[in-house]
């Protein structure tokens, strides 16, 4: 599965991503992690990224895409990946599509975890964390309040409220997200790859919906795509299973009959070569498709009446 995850801060997409990683054994590719790792490793891309960051600039899309491409070449990404936090805009989405097309690994799903803004506001601004680092219990004054206000149920320590979780900061963060993501939603919708899952309810309920989307909607598509690729690889003419099967069956019958008459011939041997030998009927079929040869064929058995029919016309 090759998935891009879309969702606001507080949407819970990180939790869903972790569950997807476990279930489908595919890695999450986080551009932040890639950047840090590349800088530490001192690779070409890492040095480019570092010089940009040292200069207080954004790392260019080319560098980020190069890192993603490198990451995709690792064995654990063969079965797919989850991209989170990238792309953030249309040019990045287009560049990603172009890169994945070169690798013949196009995205299969853009999954949006959708949560109403007011719920997001409460999720983030209501968050309280136990100040005792050894405990670290997390509460939410709206959804999972501690029994005593401001005190940890488990250890009695004071609950802390992150300063950047205040209402104004969060609202502007969500606005930035909305501005960035809305065009991406349209972009993937136009490609037919967008699916939306409601990000409210229990984690398991949401994950059930996520896996339903993947199993029901994406798996058959993936199977069809790989079947089409296999068919294309087998025979140079891209006409797949159906036209090939029909002549094969027709050919099998006459081939089997002589085999039965001659006990010396082995039946399986007779059957197997017969279907394979039949590229010949293909031109016939093509001819049948055209209207004119059809009439000619129908007319052929009735040789004597055929001229009459033509005269009538
Ligand atoms: Zn505590």
Question: pLDDT by residue (tens digit) across 107-155?
Answer: 999 999 999 999 999 999 999 999 999 999 999 999 999 999 999 999 9
- Which of 171, 173, 189, 282 is the catalytic position? 173
**Cα separation, 274 vs 118, whole angstroms:** 68
User: With bands split at pLDDT 50, 70 and 90, how would you rate the model's confidence at 236?
Assistant: low
Q: Which of 13, 48, 71, 193 is catalytic?
A: 13
Judged against a pLDDT cut of 50, whether residue 309 lies above it is answered with no
Does the pLDDT value for residue 223 go beyond 90?
no
pTM for the structure as a whole: 0.65
**So what's the pLDDT on residue 154?**
96
Name the more confident of 28 and 294.
Answer: 28
Active site residue 13: yes
Instruction: Please tell me what DSSP assigns to residue 60.
Output: P
pLDDT of residue 181: 87
Above 90 in pLDDT, residue 280?
no
Mean pLDDT within 84-92: 91
Q: Using the mean position of ligand 1's atoms as its centre, give its distance from the Cα of residue 265 in Å.
A: 82
Q: 152 CA distance to ligand 1 centroid (A)?
A: 5
Residue among 18, 47, 88, 189 flagged as catalytic: 88
Q: How far is the CA of 163 from the centre of ligand 1 (A)?
A: 19
Q: Are strands 81-84 and 194-198 parallel, antiparallel or unpaired?
A: unpaired
Catalytic residue flag (residue 88): yes
Residue 104 makes CB contacts below 8 A (sequence gap 6+) with: none
Q: Find the length of the chain.
A: 313
Question: Could you tell me what percentage of the chain is helix, strand and coil, using 3-state DSSP and rounding each to the nearest 5?
Answer: 60, 10, 30
- Give the whole-angstrom CA distance, residue 143 versus residue 123: 8
- Of the two residues 244 and 197, the one the predictor is more confident about is 197
């Amino acid at each position: 599965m090759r998935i891009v995850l879309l969702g606001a801060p507080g949407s819970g997409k990180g939790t869903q991503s972790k569950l997807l990683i476990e279930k489908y054994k595919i890695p999450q590719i986080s551009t932040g992690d890639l950047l840090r790792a590349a800088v530490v490793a001192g690779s070409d891309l890492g040095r480019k990224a570092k010089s940009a960051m040292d200069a207080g600039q954004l790392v260019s899309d080319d560098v980020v895409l190069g890192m993603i491409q490198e990451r995709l070449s690792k064995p654990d990404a063969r079965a797919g990946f989850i991209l989170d936090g990238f792309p953030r805009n249309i040019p990045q989405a287009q560049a990603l599509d172009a890169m994945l097309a070169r690798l013949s690994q196009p995205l299969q799903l853009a999954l949006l975890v959708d949560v109403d803004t007011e719920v997001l506001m409460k999720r983030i601004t209501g968050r309280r964390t136990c100040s005792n680092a050894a405990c670290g219990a997390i509460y939410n004054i709206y959804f999972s309040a501690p029994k005593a206000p401001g005190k940890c149920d488990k250890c009695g320590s004071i609950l802390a409220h992150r300063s950047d979780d205040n209402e104004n900061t969060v609202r502007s963060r969500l606005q930035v997200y909305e501005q960035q993501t809305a065009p991406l939603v349209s972009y993937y919708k136009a490609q037919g790859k967008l699916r939306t899952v409601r990000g409210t309810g229990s984690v398991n309920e949401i994950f059930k919906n996520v896996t339903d989307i993947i199993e029901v909607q994406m798996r058959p598509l993936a199977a069809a795509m790989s079947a089409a690729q296999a068919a294309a690889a087998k025979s140079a003419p891209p006409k797949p299973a159906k036209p090939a099967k029909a002549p094969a069956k027709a050919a099998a019958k006459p081939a089997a009959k002589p085999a039965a008459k001659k006990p010396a011939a082995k039946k399986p041997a007779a059957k197997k070569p017969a279907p394979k030998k039949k590229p010949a009927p293909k031109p016939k079929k093509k001819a049948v498709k055209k209207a004119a040869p059809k009439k000619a064929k129908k007319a052929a058995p009735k040789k004597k009446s055929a001229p009459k029919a033509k005269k009538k016309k």
